[in-house]
């Protein structure tokens, strides 16, 4: 772990074994952090907070650019570690590392432009300054599906806006987390500004969220865990980016080639382990047969399940047994309710672990199926028949989730009508549900199970800072 500017073991000396989902081999012993370890890190972050906040945004930006430089220098090593630890194909890992660089550089520059404003006073002769101040210590809790970029979505803006950070990553990708922390450590930030504590979320994460020494919390992960974090962090500034079941809608006037290609990306990038995945495809009955035929052909031709280090592999294993078990359950439930299996449908044999799941296409999926109602988080494309745009809106809004959705239509007015009506924080028109840009605000709609607040660009900085009113006579 990295606490107060130094690498350290846990206070108990205990470790846990990190296994690779790709090979099944043990790849590292990771410190088993405790509540006491989290408290040590929080104390260090509080000691460092005042001096870090007093630095100019330009000085902080220089530190963040050094992190980005180190990531670029170690890009091959970071990509290899990510594939070994998370399981995604090496080409996806390289893409994630490139995006990681951008997150650090974006935050460095956005921090320079984080401004207050001059407000009007009721009284003549007074000037009112509204100044943005960092909150202090930000606790960051992150998932395993994007172990580099999702932490950076929160850590980099928190640091750039003058806060110090205590970070705990998902245990199943703690090796990748340490690799990223090495880049931050080598950038030579003052001791205590950045801290990494590995260990179970139920203890380390809970302590970070609950402890009075953290003044804001950023969490990315499942809805169930997010609710627990929100309860523990009650009264603090919170950014929660949670689950999704965002539908991809294909209307009868859609470009079916475009829609099918984009759906492959939506459903099978990162083996479907993305909160923006195409968790259900709502396809108009008039074009459903043709769409399913094109989709199945593309999946058979382009989605190559295999060794994530091998040239030509486009999809690797699932990250952990829990996700694989959920795939088993959801696909079996859909088939039991009358869905038709078009492609895949089971775990793949002949691999080092049982985490390799075949890319799966299901047609005629009933809307009440688990795969159409919940977040499956696996490599499945469930096609649900619709008869109109109105029915697509109704089915989309019947979900408790409200993160992201996509629609394919040649009629821009219908696309915008869908965007106006659907309860989603982000809507793509004629592109994959997995399309996003790192500088744009991203998050769920209020009242949904997809969280609160926004990541992306300056949005987290607005949550991780607060306005101070200064009246000058």
Each residue of 192-204: pLDDT tens digit?
Answer: 999 999 999 999 9
Positions of E strands within 287-357? 340-343
**202 Cβ contact partners less than 8 Å away, ≥ 6 residues apart:** none
Same domain assignment for residues 139 and 55: yes
Taking CB atoms within 8 Å and a gap of at least 24, the contacts of 265-268 are: 265/432, 265/434, 265/435, 266/381, 266/406, 266/432, 266/433, 266/434, 267/359, 267/379, 267/380, 267/381, 268/299, 268/303, 268/314, 268/315, 268/359, 268/379, 268/381
Give the model's confidence band at 77: pLDDT under 50 very low, under 70 low, under 90 confident, else very high.
Answer: very high
Same domain assignment for residues 231 and 362: no
In the prediction, which pLDDT does 462 show? Answer: 96
Same domain assignment for residues 255 and 227: no
In the prediction, which pLDDT does 433 show? Answer: 97
In the prediction, which pLDDT does 131 show? Answer: 97
Same domain assignment for residues 230 and 347: no
pTM given for the model = 0.97
Same domain assignment for residues 106 and 52: yes
Which residues form the domain of 292?
Answer: 247-429
Same domain assignment for residues 455 and 423: no
d(CA 219, CA 250): 32
Instruction: State the average pLDDT for the chain.
Output: 98
Q: Average the pLDDT over 99-119 and give the result.
A: 97
Whether 440 maps to a domain, the answer reads no
Is the confidence at residue 139, as pLDDT, over 90?
yes
**408 Cβ contact partners less than 8 Å away, ≥ 6 residues apart:** 248, 249, 250, 251, 254, 255, 258, 259, 262, 429, 430
pLDDT in tens, 156-173: 999 999 999 999 999 999
Give me the percent of the chain exceeding a pLDDT of 90. Answer: 100
Give me the percent of the chain exceeding a pLDDT of 70. Answer: 100
Same domain assignment for residues 225 and 352: no
The torsion angles phi and psi of 63, rounded to 5 degrees, stand at -65, -40
Q: Average the pLDDT over 26-53 and give the result.
A: 98
Whether 164 maps to a domain, the answer reads yes
Is the confidence at residue 246, as pLDDT, over 90?
no
Same domain assignment for residues 322 and 235: no
Tally of domains within the chain: 2
Whether 460 maps to a domain, the answer reads yes
Q: What CATH number is attached to the domain comprising 342?
A: 3.40.309.10
For the chain, what is the largest distance between any 2 Cα atoms, rounded to a whole number of angstroms? 80
Whether 409 maps to a domain, the answer reads yes
pLDDT in tens, 363-420: 999 999 999 999 999 999 999 999 999 999 999 999 999 999 999 999 999 999 999 9
Mind telling me the catalytic residues?
241, 275
In the prediction, which pLDDT does 256 show? Answer: 98
Same domain assignment for residues 323 and 196: no
pLDDT in tens, 336-369: 999 999 999 999 999 999 999 999 999 999 999 9
In the prediction, which pLDDT does 222 show? Answer: 96
Q: How many CB atoms lie within 10 A of CB 52?
A: 23
Q: What CATH number is attached to the domain comprising 44?
A: 3.40.605.10
Contact 278, 434 (CB under 8 A): yes
Burial state string for 161-182 with b = 16 or more CB within 10 A and e = fewer than 16? bbbbbbbbbbbbbbbbbbbbbb
Same domain assignment for residues 206 and 285: no
Over its C-alpha atoms, the chain yields an Rg (Å, rounded) of: 23
Picking from 255, 240, 344, the residue whose alpha carbon sits closest to that of residue 294 is 255
3-state class of 116 per DSSP?
coil
Whether 24 maps to a domain, the answer reads yes
Whether 437 maps to a domain, the answer reads no
Same domain assignment for residues 460 and 385: no
Same domain assignment for residues 266 and 386: yes
In the prediction, which pLDDT does 245 show? Answer: 94
Whether 116 maps to a domain, the answer reads yes
Whether 443 maps to a domain, the answer reads no
């Amino acid at each position: 772990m990295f606490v107060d500017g130094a690498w350290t073991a846990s206070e108990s000396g205990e470790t846990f074994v990190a296994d690779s989902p790709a090979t099944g081999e043990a790849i590292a012993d990771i410190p088993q952090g405790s509540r006491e370890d989290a408290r040590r890190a929080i104390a260090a972050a509080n000691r460092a907070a005042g001096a870090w906040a007093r630095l100019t945004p330009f000085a902080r930006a220089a530190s963040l650019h050094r992190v980005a430089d180190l990531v670029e220098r170690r890009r091959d090593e970071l990509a290899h570690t990510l594939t070994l630890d998370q399981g995604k194909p090496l080409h996806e890992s390289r893409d994630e590392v490139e995006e990681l660089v951008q997150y650090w550089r974006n935050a460095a520059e956005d921090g320079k432009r984080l401004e207050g404003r001059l407000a009007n006073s009721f009284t003549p002769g007074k000037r009112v300054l509204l100044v943005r101040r960092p909150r202090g210590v930000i606790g960051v809790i992150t998932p395993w599906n994007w172990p580099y970029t999702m932490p950076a979505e929160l850590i980099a803006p928190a640091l750039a806006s003058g806060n110090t950070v205590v970070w705990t990553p998902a245990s199943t990708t703690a090796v990748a987390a340490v690799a990223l922390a090495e880049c931050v450590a080598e950038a030579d930030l003052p001791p205590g500004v950045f801290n990494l504590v590995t260990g179970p979320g139920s203890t380390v994460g809970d302590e970070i969220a609950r402890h009075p020494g953290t003044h804001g919390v950023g969490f990315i992960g499942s809805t169930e865990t997010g609710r627990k974090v929100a309860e523990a962090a009650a009264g603090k500034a919170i950014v929660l980016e949670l689950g999704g079941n965002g539908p991809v809608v294909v209307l009868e006037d859609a470009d079916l080639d475009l829609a099918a290609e984009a759906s492959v990306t939506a459903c099978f990038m990162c083996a479907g382990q993305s909160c923006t995945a195409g968790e259900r495809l709502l396809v108009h009955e008039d074009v459903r047969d043709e769409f399913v035929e094109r989709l199945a052909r593309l999946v058979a031709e382009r989605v190559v399940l295999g060794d994530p280090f091998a040239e030509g592999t486009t999809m690797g294993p699932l990250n952990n047994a829990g996700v694989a078990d959920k795939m088993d359950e959801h696909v079996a439930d859909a088939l039991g309710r009358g869905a038709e299996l078009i492609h895949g449908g089971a775990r793949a044999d002949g691999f080092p672990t049982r985490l390799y799941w075949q890319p799966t296409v299901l047609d005629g999926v009933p809307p009440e199926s688990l795969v159409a109602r919940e977040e499956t988080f696996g490599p499945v494309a469930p096609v649900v028949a619709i008869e109109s745009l109105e029915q697509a809106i109704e089915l989309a809004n019947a979900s408790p989730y409200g993160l992201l959705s996509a629609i394919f239509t040649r009629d821009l007015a219908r696309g915008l009508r869908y965007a106006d009506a659907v309860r989603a924080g982000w809507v793509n028109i004629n592109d994959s549900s997995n399309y996003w840009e790192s500088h744009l605000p991203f998050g769920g709609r209020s009242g949904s199970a997809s969280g609160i607040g926004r990541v992306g660009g300056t949005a987290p900085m607005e949550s991780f800072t607060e306005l101070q009113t200064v009246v000058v006579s």
